[in-house]
Structure 1
C-alpha cells in the first residue's frame, strides 16, 4: 500500500468560532476558505479541514469509538496552564500517565476531543 496522511477533518457547527478556537487558542493558521462551510487550516504542515455540520458531537471520550487528534508538547504542565488561561476546557486538572508519558485532553466548543501529549 502507498497511503499517506493528507488531512484531518474536524466537524463543527460554527466556522468562525472554530477558527478562533483553533487559531487563537491552539496556534493553527488559516490556509484557505473553500466556502462558508469549509475552511482549511494548517498545523505543523498538516492540513486541518473545518467542516460545518448542524449538530454538536455528543460522543463520550471514554465510551465511544472515535478518532482523536493528538498534539505533542515538551512541557505539558506549562501547556496546560497556557490553555487554562485561554479558557480552554481541560478534561483533567492534572496531567495523566499513559504508556509513552503524560497526557491531558481538551474539548473544543463543538464536543471534539484533542489529546495533548508529552512523551518521556
Structure 2
C-alpha cells in the first residue's frame, strides 16, 4: 500500500480555488462541478464538494487527519500566510526537538500544518 491522493471536503469550489491556488500557490490541475484538484509537490490534493461545514474542535486531541506541508522556514511561511489572512491556531510557531510547526485552518475548517524539520 502507498499514498495515492489526499482528499479534503469543501463547501465552495471558488473559495477553495482562491485559498489553495491564490493564497497557498498550489497549481489547479483539474476542476469540475464537484471537485477541484491541486498539485502539491507532485501529490494530488482533491477538494471534493460537500454541503456541511465542520467545527475545528480540539484538533490535536481529537481523532482526525491533518495534512502537514513541509516548508524550508516555518517562521517565514507563518508570517507570509498570516499577512495574506490565513488563520493560525497558534500565536507563534511551536518548536520540539525534531521540528518547528504551526497549525492553520482553511475556509472550510480543515486543519493543516506547516512544518520545518530540524
TM-score (normalizing by structure 2): 0.93
Instruction: Tell me the distance in 1 between the aligned counterparts of 2:49 and 2:85.
Output: 23
- Structure 1's unaligned 5+ residue stretches are none
Matches within 5 A, 1:101-112: 101-112=99-110
Give the 3-state SS of the residue equivalent to 1:62 in structure 2: coil
Give the 3-state SS of the residue equivalent to 1:11 in structure 2: strand
The Cα of 1:85 is off from its aligned counterpart by 0.8
CA RMSD of aligned residues (A): 1.1
Give the 3-state SS of the residue equivalent to 2:19 in structure 1: helix
Instruction: Tell me the distance in 2 between the aligned counterparts of 1:99 and 1:49.
Output: 32
Give the 3-state SS of the residue equivalent to 2:113 in structure 1: strand
- Structure 2's unaligned 5+ residue stretches are none
The Cα offsets for residues 56-100 of structure 1, whole Å up to 9 and x where unpaired, read as 122421232111000011111111110011000011111112342
Q: How many residues align?
A: 117
Runs (4+) off by over 4 Å: none
Which residue does the alignment assign to 1:40? 37
